[in-house]
Amino acid sequence: MSQPTLLFYCQHSLGMGHLVRSFALIRELTSSFKVVFLNGGRLPPGLPVPSKIQLIQLPPLGMNDEKGLVSLDEELTLAEAQAKREALILTTWARLKPQAIVIELFPFGRKKFRNELVALLDQATSSHDEKPVIICSLRDILIGGRRDQQRHDDRAVDLLERYFDAVLVHADPAFARIEESFKPGKKCTTPIYYTGFVLPQQKSGWIPTDRDASVLVSAGGGIVGGPLFRAAVRAQRILWPVSGLPMTIVAGPFLPEPEWRVLQGAVADTPGLTVLRSVPNLGATMRKLRWSVSQCGYNTAMDVLSSKVVALFVPFADRQENEQANRAARLANCGATRTLSPAGLGGQSLAREIQQLMQFEPQQCCFELGGAANTAGIISRLVAGQPDSGLVHAVGGHA
């Protein structure tokens, strides 16, 4: 019997965390589905694409410094890219008629991509063929603090109720629950499932006991890692005469080229410093070293938990991005990691924090880390029309 078809949509605009998590899910989903993946952002160099999938690259879109949408294809204007994307999405749907559609983040985010997604959802739900199971794939913590937050959350409920059969929250509810960062004024009855956390490389693997006495500094894809890397270089110049411990900075494929060149130049006058553009598996690198300093994106946090490295988080945060700070605070509160506020980041403060990190003994937090396999199981049961015991019946309606 042939496998059912699953269409998976992912748009990464700032970093590559959404794409990495989606790829981890797909590696499990291919055991039960023929997966066709719609990739809406740039495909980072060096990031392996899961085998056994059909990848369809949409004309890539991203965000500029003002959070505006831009075409990343120099030959296409924004309007031209948007038109080509929507046509390709709808053509793919018509060709496949999949049994399941998974959309990453929307309608909790990706408002700028609403037109193409609603066009897909309208076509999928109005077809004379059997309606596919439509699922939202959602990370642990949502961004809050928007000026129109109530309106944003209520609009998400309207879209969920109209189109979606389920929301899969990739978290352990003991760590974070959706109602803590999603507070609509109207009741949402779309079923919600907690899958557990999704590890970037699926399995935590063997944890060595003889780690190298070295500090690893990373910032996910690196697009907003510049301030952390500059502070790390200054901290290493302070720490080297005292500790003599090496530091490795993994810049990430999206660190802007001018900042990468500056980082490379710093090696000459910074003893014990190594800089790498990227590594094949950040989690595997963490398992080899004693200490990690990083931002607190979802995938980096999962690498920290699964590798059991002693970790300091310096979360990325601005007026509109509080998700990393929220995650870092929760992990620090349960004793798993330490946190330095980005407002206090500097060479001296980071050097002090690294020295304290070397004396820190983290508490082990027993969160569910089998989110990828659990996701595949839940989707398979939904497609088969079977109920699931992980159901949360409703959220919202507080107003």
Residue 269: DSSP 8-state: G
Task: Return all residues near 197 (Cβ < 8 A) that are at least 6 apart.
Answer: 140, 170, 171, 172, 175, 302, 305, 367, 368, 369, 371
Q: Are residues 269 and 345 in the same domain?
A: yes
Question: C-alpha distances in angstroms, 398 versus 146, 153, 209, 316?
Answer: 18, 12, 49, 30
Average pLDDT for consecutive 10-residue bins of the chain (399 residues)? Answer: 92 85 96 97 86 95 83 94 98 96 95 96 87 96 76 92 96 93 89 94 62 95 94 98 96 94 96 95 92 96 93 87 91 96 96 97 90 95 79 52
User: Residue 129's pLDDT is what?
Assistant: 75
Question: CA 294, CA 353: separation in Å to the nearest integer?
Answer: 12
Q: How many CB atoms are located within 10 Å of the residue 346 CB? A: 14
Asked whether residue 74 is domain-assigned, the answer is: yes
What are the angstrom distances between the C-alpha of 389 and each of 148, 373, 374, 382? 34, 16, 12, 12
Give me the CATH number covering residue 230. 3.40.50.2000
- How would you write 225-267 as a 3-class SS string? CHHHHHHHHHHHHHHHHHHCCCEEEECCCCCCHHHHHHHHHHH
This prediction's pTM: 0.91
Q: Tell me, what's the pLDDT at 127?
A: 75
Residues 234 and 191 in one domain: no
Same-domain pairing of 55 and 190: yes
The structural domain count of the chain equals 2
Q: Are residues 321 and 221 in the same domain?
A: yes
Mind listing the pLDDT tens digit for each residue in 284-296?
999 999 999 999 9
Query: d(Cα 26, Cα 33) in Å, to the nearest integer?
Result: 9
Residues 55 and 184 reside in one and the same domain? yes
Answer yes or no: are the C-beta atoms of 46 and 253 closer than 8 Å.
yes
Residue with token string 């060709």: 95
Tokens linked to 194: 């907690």
Question: Does 194 share its domain with 268?
Answer: no
207 found inside a domain? no
CA distance linking residue 266 with residue 86, whole number of Å: 45
CA distance 396 to 399: 8
Query: Is 364 among the domain residues?
Result: no
In a domain, 174, yes or no: yes
Cross-strand pairs, 318? 321
Residues 43 and 19 in one domain: yes
Shared domain for 169 and 71, answered yes or no, is yes
163 and 279, same structural domain?
Answer: no
Residue 173 falls within a domain, yes or no?
yes
Together in a domain, 121 and 31: yes
Examine the domain organization and report whether 155 and 297 are in the same domain: no
- Has residue 225 been placed in a domain? yes
Q: Are residues 219 and 317 in the same domain?
A: yes
Q: Any residues with CB less than 8 A from the CB of 66 and at least 6 apart, and which?
A: none
Please check whether residue 129 lies inside any domain of the structure. Answer: yes
**261 CB-near residues (< 8 Å, 6+ apart):** none
In a domain, 203, yes or no: no
Q: Which residues span the domain enclosing 375?
A: 5-198+370-396
Alpha-carbon torsion angle 301, 302, 304, 307, nearest 10: 180
| Residue 184 · residue 207 · CB < 8 Å | no
